[in-house]
Amino acid sequence: KAGVTQTPRYLIKTRGQQVTLSCSPISGHRSVSWYQQTPGQGLQFLFEYFSETQRNKGNFPGRFSGRQFSNSRSEMNVSTLELGDSALYLCASSTGLAGGPGGSDTQYFGPGTRLTVL
């Protein structure tokens, strides 16, 4: 089974621009989560989508948005880029069907997209 794929792997943008990152989950997985990883803040949750609906959102400004398509592929968009948005953006997929209060499903991570803002 193919793993989680993320495109592009590397991006260089300038301040004020916008960027769109893409994530293709493992076949059959309906949940896609996004995380930002920086040396200072570590791994921080951005949002999770399940069956095209945002199920949870982290504490990030509205410049960060996402969506999920009917085939479970997901995109995240960052508008008006700032220097502090430079980070590794990780996508993770899971079945999303573990049930209960959530948080017990195994997340499978992609290799990430390294975004550099100049």
Partner 1 sequence: AQSVTQLDSQVPVFEEAPVELRCNYSSSVSVYLFWYVQYPNQGLQLLLKYLSGSTLVKGINGFEAEFNKSQTSFHLRKPSVHISDTAEYFCAVGDQGGSEKLVFGKGTKLTVNP
Chain center to CA of 26: 14
Question: Which residues make beta-bridge pairs with 108?
Answer: 93
CB of 14 or CB of 65, closer to partner 1:
65
CB of 97 to partner 1, least distance (A): 10
Q: Give the residue with the Cβ less far from partner 1, 79 or 88.
A: 88
Contact residues for partner 1, defined by CB under 8 A: 4, 31, 33, 35, 42-45, 48, 50, 55-56, 58, 90, 92, 94, 96, 98, 100-112
Token readout for 74 is 């997901």
Report the C-alpha gap between 118 and 37 in whole angstroms: 18
In whole angstroms, the minimum distance from the beta carbon of 106 to partner 1 comes to 6
* Interatomic CA distance for residues 33 and 45, integer angstroms: 8
Distance CA 75, CA 20 (A): 7
Least Cβ distance, residue 24 to partner 1 (angstroms): 13
Question: Closer CB to partner 1, residue 16 or residue 102?
Answer: 102
